[in-house]
Amino acid sequence: MGKLRKLTLGTLPVVALSGSLVMGALVTASASSHREAPLITEDPVADLTDVYAFVSPDRPDTTTLIMNVIPFEDPAGGPNFYKFGDDVLYQFKIDNTGDSEADIAYQFRFTTTYTNPNTFLYNTGPIDSLTDPDLNVRQSYSVTEIMRTDRGWERYELAQNVPVAPWNVGVRSYATTPYDTVANAAITDIGFGKLAFAGPRDDPFFVDLGSIFDLGGLRPLNGAHLIPLPAEAGKDYVAGYNVHTISLQIPTARLTNGSDPVIGVWATTARRTQRVLNEHEGNRGRHRGDWVQVSRLGMPLVNEVVIPVGLKDKFNASQPRNDIANFGGSIINPELGALIPVLYPGVTVPTQVDAGLGLGGREDLAVIFATGLPGLNRSATFSVPGEMLRLNTSIAPNPTPNRLGVLGGDTQGFPNGRRLTDDVTDIELQAVAGNTPFTPAFRIAPNNALGDGVDGNDKPFGPSFPYMASPPDGYSS
């Protein structure tokens, strides 16, 4: 096992528990990673909302990777419905050597074509297949695998012209063939046991945004808040919205390194350095130059509630291997940990947890977010911390997953990777409040009951790839 160097974290801001601090911190909170940082909020097609990595429940020798982009897609948002950016490079990155540097990447590039440029309609009749001439706006994509080898980086063009599932426009547009029949045809075998799917889905994330944005409210615990209200059930404010997903199912042996079953996973989006506008193409312009990372996502909620607003854009441009130097202070002295006792008087949370890292402060959170848990999801050759999802691919999926994942006594689930069912909002709130094996004295009520009252998605997940629910349609929503 590698040894974590003792790192200087610089002077940490003194946390003053004033009312203005509470306000300032909470307005930066967000859902998972929906609109989490100032600049990426203005670039939704490159805005990663959530990343998932889990052992496929129906094909346990494979691992499913999911990245979702474009927050809060309105199902009726036509006629130019949401789609991937043709000028954005989307990537999954996998570290299988424990040094927080990618060893494998899967790259996706999209291309939009129009069957008939002389109509404003997305489709000119009911859509019966991915090749239906009535489907006017089409996207397709390429998948490239790049892999670090003894001979340097090797590049494999896995697939080209893979169709993107179309938008679920409405009941008339799928009057003759069900939407799911058309969309499921976009589940594509790209060879070597790999499946790919890209297109709109019901956003699988679930959270009570309305209450959490309102001074850290948790409706079921309304009576315990500094500004009490009658307790009520949580409301899923992401329900009814779609996202665009890029999903891969890959034989796990392709992702792991030797006998070590642990992989680290994150997603990035990148844009070209230059965008040159001209009078013929207007806003579209020409894109050229190198790729620059504009969004990054591994663990849910880290860039939202751990990273302060002044560093959020930097986080999106940064690399995991530099996380402790750049953001370590925010992890081991979490603002949220200081807010919980203020907003919920009488609740105490840990402030110092020694996990052997030599950092001080909340080392338990540094382990959860940046090193993986020893014996669970820390790489056998771990050497450099970095924020990413870490998945032990050797643990069999649980047929009846607990929404609280590993913290709920599950064999799988966040923070060991992340499944669609994992209630990461509650898990992370409880982790900050100390409901983890690191701090048994804090595994008590209400610390182990903190939650927003939204325990699952509004639509059931499917039994097979890509698992996410089909998107609500524009007519019915």
What is the CB neighbour count within 10 angstroms for residue 157? 10
**Token duo for residue 152:** 């340097």
Q: What phi, psi does 329 have (nearest 5°)? A: -60, -35
User: Which residue number, 103 or 132, has a Cβ lying nearer to Ca ion?
Assistant: 103
Closest distance to Ca ion from the beta carbon of 257 (Å): 8
Asked if 74 touches Ca ion (CB under 5 A), the answer is: no
Number of residues that bind Ca ion (CB under 5 A): 15
The helices-and-strands tally (H runs, E runs) of the chain is 9, 12
User: Which residue number, 96 or 107, has a Cβ lying nearer to Ca ion?
Assistant: 96
Asked if 95 touches Ca ion (CB under 5 A), the answer is: yes
CA nearest 217: which of 448, 445, 451?
A: 451
Asked if 425 touches Ca ion (CB under 5 A), the answer is: yes
Closest distance to Ca ion from the beta carbon of 101 (Å): 4
Asked if 452 touches Ca ion (CB under 5 A), the answer is: yes
CA nearest 138: which of 155, 117, 161, 114?
A: 114
User: Which residue number, 99 or 363, has a Cβ lying nearer to Ca ion?
Assistant: 99
Chosen residue from 97, 173, 402, 436 binding Ca ion by CB under 5 A: 97
137, β-bridge pairs: 114
If DSSP codes are grouped into helix, strand and coil, which group holds residue 99?
A: coil
User: Which residue number, 219 or 362, has a Cβ lying nearer to Ca ion?
Assistant: 219
| Pairwise CA distance, residues 7 & 65, whole Å | 32
Chosen residue from 63, 247, 457, 470 binding Ca ion by CB under 5 A: 457
User: Which residue number, 452 or 473, has a Cβ lying nearer to Ca ion?
Assistant: 452
Chosen residue from 47, 423, 428, 473 binding Ca ion by CB under 5 A: 423
Asked if 422 touches Ca ion (CB under 5 A), the answer is: no
Asked if 103 touches Ca ion (CB under 5 A), the answer is: yes
Is residue 71 a contact partner of residue 297, using CB atoms and an 8 Å limit?
no
Please choose, out of 155-163, 250-258, 408-416, 424-432, the segment that lies near Ca ion by the rule CB under 5 A.
424-432
| Pairwise CA distance, residues 348 & 341, whole Å | 6
CA nearest 450: which of 214, 234, 204?
A: 234
Chosen residue from 202, 363, 422, 428 binding Ca ion by CB under 5 A: 202
Q: Radius of gyration of the chain from Cα atoms?
A: 22
Asked if 454 touches Ca ion (CB under 5 A), the answer is: yes
Asked if 304 touches Ca ion (CB under 5 A), the answer is: no
Asked if 243 touches Ca ion (CB under 5 A), the answer is: no
The DSSP secondary-structure symbol of 303 reads I
Closest distance to Ca ion from the beta carbon of 449 (Å): 11
Chosen residue from 47, 73, 99, 422 binding Ca ion by CB under 5 A: 99
User: Which residue number, 138 or 235, has a Cβ lying nearer to Ca ion?
Assistant: 235
Closest distance to Ca ion from the beta carbon of 53 (Å): 15
189, β-bridge pairs: 195
| Pairwise CA distance, residues 453 & 235, whole Å | 7
Closest distance to Ca ion from the beta carbon of 259 (Å): 16
Closest distance to Ca ion from the beta carbon of 42 (Å): 24
What is the CB neighbour count within 10 angstroms for residue 457? 19
Closest distance to Ca ion from the beta carbon of 385 (Å): 13
Asked if 333 touches Ca ion (CB under 5 A), the answer is: no
User: Which residue number, 21 or 461, has a Cβ lying nearer to Ca ion?
Assistant: 461
User: Which residue number, 95 or 323, has a Cβ lying nearer to Ca ion?
Assistant: 95
CA nearest 449: which of 470, 429, 469?
A: 429
Is residue 164 a contact partner of residue 138, using CB atoms and an 8 Å limit?
yes
263, β-bridge pairs: 391
User: Which residue number, 97 or 249, has a Cβ lying nearer to Ca ion?
Assistant: 97
User: Which residue number, 95 or 335, has a Cβ lying nearer to Ca ion?
Assistant: 95
Please choose, out of 94-102, 175-183, 336-344, 392-400, the segment that lies near Ca ion by the rule CB under 5 A.
94-102
DSSP secondary structure letters along 285-300: EEEEEEEEEEEEESST
CA nearest 134: which of 146, 151, 119?
A: 119
User: Which residue number, 211 or 416, has a Cβ lying nearer to Ca ion?
Assistant: 211
CA nearest 72: which of 204, 209, 260, 203?
A: 203
First to last CA, the chain: 52
Q: Which residue is nearest to Ca ion (CB)?
A: 97
User: Which residue number, 216 or 451, has a Cβ lying nearer to Ca ion?
Assistant: 451
Site string for Ca ion, 8-47 (x = CB under 5 A): ----------------------------------------
Asked if 203 touches Ca ion (CB under 5 A), the answer is: yes
User: Which residue number, 219 or 271, has a Cβ lying nearer to Ca ion?
Assistant: 219
Please choose, out of 1-9, 68-76, 155-163, 452-460, the segment that lies near Ca ion by the rule CB under 5 A.
452-460
Integer CA distances (angstroms), 172 to 116, 175, 471, in order? 20, 5, 16
CA nearest 123: which of 135, 113, 132?
A: 135
Closest distance to Ca ion from the beta carbon of 235 (Å): 11
**Token duo for residue 429:** 């709130």
All residues at 6 or more sequence positions from 437 whose CB lies less than 8 Å from its CB, including other chains: none
List of residues contacting Ca ion (CB under 5 A): 95, 97, 99, 101, 103, 202-203, 423, 425-426, 451-452, 454, 457-458
